[in-house]
Amino acid sequence: MEVHTTADESRAWVTVLRSSVELDRVQVRLSLRGAVFTLRDELGLEEIDLSDLEFWALPFEVREAALAKLRRERPVAHFDEPTWSFDENGTGYWAITKYHDIARVSREPQIFSSARGAVSIRDLPEEFLEFFGSMINTDDPRHGYLRRIVSRAFTPKRLTQLEDRIETIAQELVHGIPRGVPFDVVPTVAATLPLRVICEMMGVPRDRESYVLERSNIILGALDDEFVPVDRSPDEAIMMAAIELTALMEEIGSERVQRPRNDITSALVNASVDGEALTAAELASFFILLVVAGNETTRNAISLGIHALGQWSDEYQRWRQNQESLTETAVEEIIRWSSPVMFMRRTLTQRACVGDIEILEGEKVLLLYGSGNRDEEIFRDPYRFDVSRADNRHLGFGGFGPHYCLGAHLARRELASIFRALLRSVPHWSVVDEPAQLRSNFINGLKHLTVVVEE
């Protein structure tokens, strides 16, 4: 069955979804401003397995239909430990798919801890925590202590100083886009902007940018054979990439202690809270967090935003004609739509209920941000890409609470700059092929996106 709607009738599909107890093999087609999005409900409830990497490799419309089914029928669902996990014999985890439940858990770190085990599904070995034990893997008071030091490097004054540089980089990248021929927008535009901004902020030389990018790709793409060959251990690859990034940051940090410059590394190694500054290990861990989380998430938001605007071309033209009034809402919609980080994990410090499910102390919960950002009870027409969406309380920066992304303001500025540059000089583009999706259950990412820009 296919349900067709016009733009004015688009909300009717929500009624169709809610009125169906079982939607197996039902297709719901939504036609909006020239774009077509199809939810393909091909999985029964018992067939949905978030621990299977093949689930995350499914087409977007199949995956989204499965998550919509979980929200309706099993909003807090238990899954076994992934077979590729360090902890194959673990107790599994509870996947939380509804917006309000995710927001509530995010606001209660005293019950739902970030420090017990890790924020990944698996508990990381001690040697991994040496490199990945940054702020996101801590609770107060340690979390607050680290955040206070790091926040001194992300002051409004410092970010304001970066604005002109971000605009310049964005304009240079868009100016270099070829016209009339297919090109891959991910490495040429989407990956370069946030990487260059972060490297310049941290004082990483330009000739080391590709070095940083390659290792960032390995850390978040270790399960994708484009970045780590199948005959190489993903865990070993991640560890080696972390060691190499740590060595680079220790080298730069040591030099900045002796000869400070006007960069964030200098601010971090020379900052002091309660008489202390970041240690070399803490600096390296923060750098890995920044180049992995800050670079990869913004890169994928740009890529997925370009892809969405290629599909919803009328939305792009509407934004072009109303840049001053729509840029803020359009950027928030790109963040909601892309939801680059699929989840973060929390571990219970005591027994608690989420929805109508009782979860025990020590059990894991996964906050599925992308699912929350499509929650029909919160977002009207959630599968419509709308650059003027006003009430957009998305979970794109980790929801709410103490772990709200410290770099959210920077990411918004980067997105606004690159899309303003596109709006000024690119009247239209077409997506040539299906985008190459990153094989990951953690990052909603595109490896390649081939587009053609009008001459």
Amino acid identity of residue 221, one-letter, is G
One-letter identity of residue 38: T
Its sign, for the CA torsion 39, 44, 46, 51, is: negative
β-strands 26-32, 35-41 pairing: antiparallel
Radius of gyration, CA atoms only, the chain:
22
Which CATH number, 3.40.50.300, 1.10.4160.10, 1.10.630.10, 2.60.40.650, labels domain 93-453?
1.10.630.10
Secondary structure tally for the chain: helices H, strands E: 18, 15
Among 12-16, 31-35, 221-225, 231-235, whose mean pLDDT is lowest?
12-16
Q: What is the pTM of this model?
A: 0.88
Phi–psi pair at 62, nearest 5 degrees:
-75, -45
Place of tokens 């939504």: 30
pLDDT value at residue 382: 95
- Could you tell me which residues come within 8 angstroms of residue 392 by beta carbon, excluding any fewer than 6 positions away? 329, 332, 333, 336, 379
pLDDT at 289: 81
The three-class DSSP label of residue 451 is strand
Q: Tell me the per-residue pLDDT of 175-217, one tens digit each, with 9 for 90 and over.
A: 999 999 999 999 999 999 999 999 998 899 999 999 999 999 9
* Domain locations along the chain: 1-74, 93-453
Per-residue burial over 250-271, b = 16 or more CB atoms within 10 Å of its CB, e = otherwise? eebbeebeeeeeebbbbbbbeb
SS3 30: strand
pLDDT grade, residue 229 (50/70/90)?
confident
Closest CA to 406 of 144, 176, 64, 179: 144
Please indicate whether residue 8 or residue 52 has the higher confidence score (pLDDT).
52
Per-residue pLDDT tens digits for 274-304: 566 777 778 888 888 887 777 888 999 999 9
Residue 288 half-sphere exposure, CB side, CA atoms within 13 Å? 30
Answer for the pair 187, 222: CB distance below 8 angstroms, yes or no: no
Residue 27 confidence (pLDDT) above 50: no
Q: How far apart are CA 211 and CA 449, in angstroms?
A: 22
Give residues with Cβ within 8 angstroms of 144, minimum separation 6.
Answer: 402
**Strand runs labelled E in 86-131:** 93-96, 112-113
**Residue for token pair 């002051």:** 155
Counting every residue written for the chain, the total comes to 455
Q: pLDDT tens digits, residue range 348-400? A: 999 999 999 999 999 999 999 999 999 999 999 999 999 999 989 999 888 78
Q: Which of 59-68, 117-126, 311-320 has the least mean pLDDT?
A: 117-126
- When pLDDT is averaged across residues 430-440 and rounded to a whole number, the result is 91
Please list the residues that pair with 348 across neighbouring strands.
112
Mean pLDDT value across the chain = 85
